[in-house]
Structures are given as structure tokens and as C-alpha cells.
Amino acid sequence: MQSITYTRADTPETALAAFSDAGEGARYIAGGTTLYDLMKLAIETPVHLIDVSDLNGLDTIETEGDTLRIGAMARMADVAAHPLIQDEYPVLAESLWKAASQQLRNMATVGGNLLQRTRCIYFRNGAGGISPCNKREPGSGCAAIGGLDRGQALFGASNACTAVFPGDWPIALLALGASVDVLGPHGRRTIPVAEFYRLPGDTPHNEFSLTSGEIVTAINVPKRPARRSTYHKIRDRESYAFALVSAAVVLEMQGNTVLQARVALGGVASIPWRATEAETALVGHPLTRVRALAAGHAAFANARPGLHNAFKLTLGPEAIADALMIAAQRNA
């Protein structure tokens, strides 16, 4: 067994100091629903855990002003059940409901959810496994390339990694143009969700635009018309599986005409993926099922399927079309 030391922090500054003292072998932990899992697989092997679940003032949901501000330590269940989020931002509530079981939502934080590691069956094969994985062991290779790639990425993959980003909540945040506040040794900064995740390139183990020791403190969502929104998730089973394809859609309409559309995809890319081609195909046009499906096909025009995931070229456009029609039918 590996020895692990532990610190319980009550302020962000205490957490940063503990990380500085422990070095690169430290990991922050809040709900623990992802990190503990990876520790059991010997993929994550921290030598020091810094518990940030009790950081003062970072579990609030602030609704005043022109920004919805959600503390990083707020639980997924609490955010999904918040009346304003249910009424004004159904895409956010639905992305949290569909992300995990009630037990996990009661434990997991929205900040921690942002930091789920991009992974596939080969990544989870465990340290010392028979399948090489550049994300797990940089430079070892990628077993998914030429292997079982039904669940691999159609967008954003590289010659080093084809794993799909697993999250739901960040897909909805991307569609809303949200940003993330972080605090680190060099102070505070804000990172747009669109820039928070890194494409795999040659270094797929570097997944986030964070510097050493930085901690997520809050999520900022611009207040925009979002009642006509939804998070539509297609999966192999109804019981909290990862998405085969998911679509977060936010619409602004005048009558039946689309004034603005924001579409983000999950289950098909190495990072949360903005489908700008679909948005362009929608704006200024009446929204019909035919138009919605055409927008879906536009979103997948540049997809690069592998050996076993080409079915998403059909499933993906249909999922986008369904999401658009669901969102359009909601009262603004």
C-alpha cells in the first residue's frame, strides 16, 4: 500500500500553502467521486491529499447582477435543484441531473466535475496494464488507435490520443459562454470554459489550462435568455452512462425564427465541442425539423470517424435536431 498524507483546508489560502509544501505529488479533493476511483485503479497515485470540501464561502449560488455565480464547492444536487437554475437555465439543471446518480450528485461538487479526466477503456486499464496509453504513461503509445474505438473521439483527436471528454455539465456551460475563476500561487484569474480544456496534441496528459497548484473557486454564467434550452443525452443505458452523443442547445427566437443559437456537443470530442457550423445553419431561419436536422449534419461535416464509431455520423445529427426541437417548444 502507498502511504498518503492528508490536510483539511478551511480557506483557499490554506489549500494553496498545503499544495506548495507537498509539491507535485499533491492533489486537491472535494467530493472524491472521481479521484478515489482513479486511485483504486492506480492511475492517480497522490502522496498528499488536500481536502477542500469545507472551503469557506465557496458553496454559494449568487443570482444578483448580470452574472450567475456558482461556488466551486456547491454540490451538483444543490445546483440542479436551485429554483432559478431550473426555471431560467434548464440546460444547466438537466446536464447535472443526467450526469450521475443521486448518490453521486449529493457528494460531487460542480468545480470537481469540471476536472474529470478525459478517459477511455484503455486509460482505465490501470497502471502497468497491457494497453499503452499516452495519457496514463506519456510516450507509451495509444492502444485505441487501430483498436476498439466505438467510444473514441470524432473531433479534436490526435495521433497521441483519441479519448472522449466524459462530462455533461461543462458542455452546458460551454453553450452558455461561461467562465471559471481560479486561484493559484500567482493570484486570481478567469478562464473561459472554451479555453479551460486543452486539445490532446502531443501531450494528452496535460488536459487543463491550469498552472501548478491552481484551484477552481467559482463558475460564472452570463445572464442571457436561456429558458429555451436543453441538454439532450443519448447513451447506451438510461442509468447514468457516459454519452454516446449529447447536445446542449440555447436558443433565442422571434416567433419561429432563430435569432441566436448556441450548440455544444459531448460524447464525440476530446474536449467540450462548440458546434458553430450548426449555429450558422440556424440563425435567421425558421426552425423546422428539416432545418434542425440540416444543422445537425453541418455540425458533423468535419468529423473523422474511426473503425467502429461511424454510427455517430447518423446519431449525432439526430440528437442535435431533437435537442433543437425540444428547446424551441419551451416558453421563453
Q: What is the pLDDT tens value at each position of the chain, 332 positions in all?
A: 788 999 999 999 999 999 999 988 999 999 988 898 889 888 889 999 999 998 988 999 999 899 999 999 999 999 999 999 999 999 999 999 999 888 999 999 999 999 999 999 999 886 666 789 999 899 999 999 999 999 999 999 999 999 999 999 999 999 999 999 999 999 999 999 999 999 999 999 999 999 999 999 999 999 999 999 999 999 998 777 899 999 999 999 999 999 999 999 999 999 999 999 999 999 999 999 999 999 999 999 999 999 999 999 999 999 999 999 999 999 87
Closest CA to 214 of 173, 178, 179, 186: 186
Closest CA to 71 of 183, 219, 212, 194: 219
- Residue 127 has a pLDDT of 62
Q: What is the pLDDT of residue 206?
A: 96
Q: Are 145 and 162 in contact (CB under 8 A)?
A: yes
Distance CA 45, CA 49 (A): 10
Tens of pLDDT, residue by residue over 20-79, are 999 889 999 999 888 988 898 888 899 999 999 989 889 999 998 999 999 999 999 999
The pLDDT score that the predictor gives to residue 179 is 98
Q: Which residues pair with 101 in a beta bridge?
A: none
Closest CA to 213 of 1, 16, 6, 44: 16
Q: What is the pTM of this model?
A: 0.96
Residue 93, C-alpha cell as written in the block: 439543471
> What's phi and psi for 94, nearest 5 deg?
-70, -35
- Joined together, the cell numbers standing for residue 49 give 491529499
Locate 28 and state its grid cell. 486537491
Alpha-carbon distance 114 to 203, whole Å? 19
